Structure 1
């Protein structure tokens, strides 16, 4: 039995350590999605992720630290885009008023500055409300792009496979035709020799 090279076993272990096998629980679903056990229920309460506590009951959007300046519709929804545009226009108007106050009454700028800060807080709050929607739409776009790329690659593979099959079929037909011609060419000398032998035998009988 040949001795194992030094370090071969360690190198193999390192390879398997870098690329571990997938968990065995996927075998439970070999017969279909409903074959194995159901997924666990979502965790509630405080969990720890990456060493940091995370409260699942905590709202995604932090509370607004100032008074609300945007409108809420009757069904409880908020038109984030329209409200951001409205607040942005109001912010520009407030900035112009602040410049006028600084020119006319410089000591009275604090109230106008507070209104500007409140508007900025409201705009930031609306942007935070749009974060989950933005993340969801970004994920959808990424998945759709991946699906489109895979479909394009699959179509290219199928086209190349069909092209190769046609080339193989044409090569097979050419080989079959060449093989038939070679067999026919091989039969011709044998037939000519047989005819010569028959003619020679007939001449001997006549003689």
Structure 2
């Protein structure tokens, strides 16, 4: 279970204000907000990039007292944040290798993820030769290498073309269900929201106005939804 209580943060000329969220195991929360509303900053705060006021409790562990590298949190960035000087396989196993996990264990897991995501043929490929969809799959594989309690997805479909989006959308949802992992996904796309969400949070100017379940969201008119976060 995730419980965020009254988190406040000032960063440059922007602030997160009084953020409170409760999320059950295996739930997916979609945060709807336009660009610049603070969605990415919130994900980075949960992942441990910034100090903040308030508390973040994940499965009874106070994350605000834990270093980022020790948090069981995986963050997939909108721009994928892959290492350009490493090939596909090296990117996927990078963290496992640094943490000195048994090579046989992390190699077996990486090979499974390569096959599961349909990118085995790219194993030795350099990052600069990959498409946006391929980079996204590698970024997902790297995130799932960690034994995380929560997956944070920052606009995971925004860099993909229309044709790639449909297959990527299904793949992401299938992986969330397969790994039974609590997920927070941020987007400004209403269709993506309805496809992924168990709960929906509306974010505007660094604040979350309200959180509702997906059934309540589906009953809202499009204009009502847009008014919540634009």
TM range (shorter): under 0.3
Bigger share in helix: 1
Higher relative contact order (CA 8 A, sep 6+): 2
| Structure having the higher Rg | 1
